[in-house]
Amino acid sequence: MDYIKVTRDIIACDTSVPPGLNYERLIDYLVPLFDQVGFETQKIGIPGEYTDGAGDRVNLLAHRRQPGKPRLIFYGHIDVVPAQGWNAFTPRAEDGKIYGRGAADMKGAITALLLGLEETREKQLKYDISVMITTDEEVGQAGQLRYLARYLQPVAGAYLFNLDASFGYVGIASLGALQMDIRVKGKSVHSAMSHMGENAVEKAALLMQALLELKKKVVKRKSRVQVHPETGLKQMEARLNINMVKGGLKVNIVPDECLISIDRRLIPEESLEGARKELDETLASVAGVEWEVDGAFGIPTVPPCQDPIVDELAAAIKEVIGRSGKFGEMGSGDLPHVVHEWGGQEFSLGVIRSECNIHGKEEFVYQRDIEDLALIISRFISVP
């Protein structure tokens, strides 16, 4: 397999979400590649009621079933975040790197999987294997994952190998997330007559000050789970950020509302219920401000994966690159908690490095990382 060509081809297919227009075109490109490595493929149409209003979607499943062996499901997604200001969908290979939107997050890992499966085509496998190639990870895909479960049975007790992850170590945990929109209410009047109105932006500032005081406490919370030294941290840490503020129509009008968007990240020892209660109490403690929660979205925390299988993967990593480890990831996603609902266990390894600039300009993946991940996968899943 010419993996550089494959990686460039899948990057060149613009699967930005929104709008997510070219998913089926890329799925159709991948189907014969999975056929070539000895897997049976299924294109799965996902009805709109399972896509959080995004409309009908098409996902890809591929199988090399080995009934009676431990169940292993590889996970990947083909959607990418939008790109501006660079030739993000005209991929190029130079200096041992492949550049383009989604190169590291996470189309390079899909190529590595194909390369690893090609290596094991004639070998005996240790696992009953399926692959799920999904859509809308960047905007939310929990409903789609739940729909796919009917085609992936058994999922209870299954191992989920998440390829949307960092390179060089096994990811055993991720952060939970709570995102809230707080609508602050006021009364609109001419700015010269502000004594007759209620300035929603200024009221919002009072709430934000209270949230920033809470943030001082939140960021001191550290998990027992260590993170990779490249992050600059020692343990997984909680987060509270005010990432968007929208209010006002014109400079001479007192605004009648202001929207604050909060992003709260939870370490595995925390709960969504506790985080929401803490935020509600903090907001309610500010006198003289009328507000309401305009929307909330949560991803529950999941205990770290401690199954011996992560030690097997860590050993395979060390065989290939000479070093390894087991760490938590300072990221969040739908997959871990949906897998937890299934009664399965999720762990991760991909091709993302801190310098790969995922979601930014000139995103890239190292060619060597694709080659090494493929070798790790082939050693991990095949009988010696």
Per-domain residue ranges of the chain: 3-174+301-381, 176-299
Distance set, CA 336 to CA 77, 133, 140, 303 (Å): 14, 16, 13, 9
Question: Quick one: which of 319, 270, 357 has its CA closest to 88?
Answer: 357
Task: In whole angstroms, give the CA distance from residue 118 to residue 75.
Answer: 17
* Separation between Cα atoms, residue 77 and residue 91, nearest integer Å: 18
Please tell me the CATH code under which domain 176-299 is placed: 3.30.70.360
Segment (H or E) for 345 = strand 345-348
Q: What is the C-alpha to C-alpha distance for residues 277 and 368, in angstroms, rounded to an integer?
A: 46
Other Cβ atoms within 10 Å of 100 Cβ, number? 27
Tell me the H-state helices in the chain. 3-12, 23-36, 108-119, 142-148, 200-218, 272-284, 308-321, 334-342, 367-381
Angle between helix axes 23-36 and 108-119 (nearest 10 degrees) is: 20
In the CATH scheme, what is the code of domain 3-174+301-381?
A: 3.40.630.10
What's residue 329's pLDDT?
93
Residue 186 near residue 197 (C-beta atoms within 8 A): yes
Query: From first to last of its 384 residues, what are the pLDDT tens digits of the chain?
Result: 999 999 999 999 999 999 999 999 999 999 999 999 999 999 999 999 999 888 999 999 999 999 999 999 999 999 999 999 999 999 999 999 999 999 999 999 999 999 999 999 999 999 999 999 999 999 999 999 999 999 999 999 999 999 999 999 999 999 999 999 999 999 999 999 999 999 999 999 999 999 999 999 999 999 999 999 988 999 999 999 999 999 999 999 999 999 999 999 999 999 999 999 999 999 999 999 999 999 999 999 999 999 999 999 999 999 999 999 999 999 898 999 999 999 999 999 999 999 999 999 999 999 999 999 999 999 999 998
Helix, coil or strand: residue 17: coil
Q: Is 312 helix (H, G, I), strand (E, B) or coil?
A: helix
**Pair 375, 320: CB distance under 8 Å:** yes
For residue 283, the one-letter residue type is L
Nearest to 17 by CA among 88, 98, 78, 85: 78
- What pLDDT does 230 receive? 86
Residue type, position 48, single letter:
G
Contact present, 27 and 43 (Cβ < 8 Å) = yes
Residue 150, pLDDT score: 96
Phi first, then psi: give them for residue 123, nearest 5 degrees. -105, 160
Buried b (16+ CB within 10 A) or exposed e, 126-146: bbbbbbbbbbbbbebbbbbbe
